[in-house]
Amino acid sequence: MINRITLFRTTKRIVFGLGAIEKIGAEVLGLKKKKVLVVTDPGIVQAGLLEPLKQSLQAAHIPFALFDGVEPDPRLEVVQQCAEMGRKEGVEALIGFGGGSSLDIAKVAAVLLTNEGDLTQFFGIDLIPNPGLPVILIPTTAGTGSEVTPIAILSDTREKLKKGIVSPHLFPEVALLDPQLTVGLPPVVTALTGLDALIHAIESYTSVNAFDLTDHLAFRAMELLYDNIRTAYARGEDLEARSRMLEGSLLAGIAFANAGVTAVHAFAYPIGGEFHVAHGLANSVMLPHVMRFNLLGNLPKFADIGSALGLDTEPLTDKEAAL
């Protein structure tokens, strides 16, 4: 639609490639910050994945504190504990390192350090008054795309709900993506996070808020993720497949940060909040039902999905290809 005005936003700096983790010290120096809080989970620490990050920070003479209390489906209390450590340590920036939970906690803790009031008042859209401390996000899964979105999802255990905070103040200053960090992912985590990313791409492509730029990103993301998820699952050490998966997750994240998602995520969040199932699994369960319902709303786009997933749709009608 040529007369439509669109807004496109993403993370300011995106550093991507094998060995990118070695650049973290330089990225912090570029922000001119003297001390950082590294936010991660116990599994990351036990696996030794933090070592190259520590070495890079130490080589750059950047002191850091470590918060390793991140948990799946992070509770509000965990975010508050993280922010309190940051306040106590006098940090000037945060580094989120790990899966989507670590990245989301780092983003929210950063704004808690610069905004007064209770965390719960920020749930919703554009309710954070002030920018947070600078954040660098380093994903170790190819899934959530949190490193390029203005969104954080937390668990309210009292209401048994997953709740979202959406604000441009949640965009990090830097996203640093190193495929090597995803090599050790177990197959089941590879599959579920990969499906989450693929569903981000499918939903943003078929969203009523999609536009040409997000379509290009989402379509390419679908191609990359579908073509490489089986290899990444079966041969986790395959760096080419891991790199393509991480690239696909990144593109899908940028796409849905601007086009939004559809009812798949709307249904998946309460399922996750009530039953604590993996987000990628909840999305996968809901995807076929939502696609079937939405199909007639835009047959050509649903037909395109078949093409992105490698199907020969040339001799088919849009309806046949979509089905």
Model confidence at 110, pLDDT cuts 50, 70, 90, reads very high
Q: How far is CA 151 from CA 58, 64, 140, 154, in A?
A: 31, 25, 18, 10
The pLDDT of residue 83 is 98
Name the pLDDT band for 146 (thresholds 50, 70, 90).
very high
Residues 238-264 have pLDDT tens digits of 999 999 999 999 999 999 999 999 999
> Which of 107, 104, 134 has the alpha carbon at shortest distance from 30?
134
Q: How far apart are the first and last CA of the chain?
A: 26
Residue 61 reports pLDDT greater than 90: yes
- Domains of the chain (ranges; CATH) run 13-181 (3.40.50.1970), 183-322 (1.20.1090.10)
Cβ burial 160-186 (10 Å sphere, 16+ → b, else e): eebbebbbebbbbbbbbbbbbbbbebe
Exposure pattern of 5-33 as b/e (b: 16+ CB <10 Å)?
Answer: eeeeebbeebbeeeebbebbbebbeebeb
Instruction: Place 2 in a pLDDT band, splitting at 50, 70 and 90.
Output: low
Which two tokens mark 297? 């709303």
Out of 51-55, 131-135, 175-179, 308-312, pick the least confident. Answer: 308-312
pLDDT at position 296: 84
* pLDDT, average across residues 285-305: 90
Cα–Cα distance between 301 and 304 in angstroms, integer?
5
Query: Model confidence at 162, in pLDDT bands (50, 70, 90)?
Result: confident
Write down the H helix ranges in the chain.
24-30, 42-46, 51-59, 76-89, 100-112, 187-206, 212-234, 239-259, 263-275, 279-294, 299-308, 318-322
DSSP letter for 93, please: E
pLDDT > 70: what percent of the chain? 99
Whether 51 has a pLDDT exceeding 60, the answer reads: yes
CA 113 and chain centroid, separation: 22
